[in-house]
Chains A and B, each alone.
Chain A
Amino acid sequence: MSKKRVLIIGGGSGGAILANLLNPDEYDVTVIDKSRYHTFQPGQLFVAFQGSRKEFQKPIRCLLRDEVKFVNKAVSEVNLDDRYVVTSDGARIEYDYVIIATGVHLDYDAIKGNREILNEYGDYFSSIADAKKLWNTLRKLRKGTFFIGVADPLYKCPPAPHKAAFLSTNLFRRMGVHDKVKVILGMPFPHAYPSKTVSDIIEPKLEERGIEVKTYFTVDSIDTKEKKIYSLEGDEVKYDVATVVPVNTGPKIKVTPEKVLDDTGFFKVDKFKLNIEGYDDAFAIGDCSNVPTSKSGVTAHLHAEVVADRLHGLDSVADGRTHCPIVSNGEGTFVISDYNHPPLPIRMSKFKRLQEDIFIATYWVAVKYPKLMQPIFRSYFEATRPGILSKVGW
Chain B
Amino acid sequence: MSGNVIKVDARNMACPGPITKVVRAYRKANNGDIIEVLATDPGFKPDIEAWVKRTGCELVELSEEGGVIKAVIKVVK
Contacts and interface: CB of A to CB of B under 8 A. Distances in A.
B60 interface: no
A162 to B, nearest CB: 14
Interface string B12-35: 011111011001101100000000
A233 B20 contact: no
Nearest to B48: A190
A283 to B, nearest CB: 24
Kindly state the interface size class of chain B when it binds its partner. 10 to 19
B16 A195 contact: yes
Given A292-B13, A342-B14, A189 B19 contact: yes
A220 B19 CA distance: 16
Contacts of B56: 234
B19 A232 contact: no
Nearest to B49: A190
Among B13, B16, B24, find the residue whose CB has the most chain A CB atoms closer than 10 A: B16
Contacts of A153: 16, 19-20, 23-24
A381 B34 CA distance: 44
Interface string B46-61: 1100110011100000
Nearest to B22: A153
Contacts of B67: none
Nearest to A154: B20
B43 interface: yes
Contacts of B15: 189, 194-196, 342
A191 B56 CA distance: 19
B27 A220 contact: yes
B30 to A, nearest CB: 13
Interface in A193-251: 194-196, 216, 218, 220, 232-235
Nearest to B46: A190
Given A153-B19, A190-B47, A195-B15, A234 B24 contact: no
A234 B23 contact: no
Contacts of A234: 54-56
Given A195-B15, A234-B56, A190 B51 contact: yes
Nearest to A341: B14
B19 A190 contact: yes
B19 A233 contact: no
Given A190-B50, A196-B43, A216-B54, A232 B26 contact: yes
Interface string A335-350: 0000000100000000
Interface of B: 13-17, 19-20, 23-24, 26-27, 43, 46-47, 50-51, 54-56
Given A152-B24, A189-B19, 9 more contacts: A195-B15, A216-B50, A216-B54, A216-B55, A232-B27, A234-B54, A235-B54, A342-B14, A342-B15
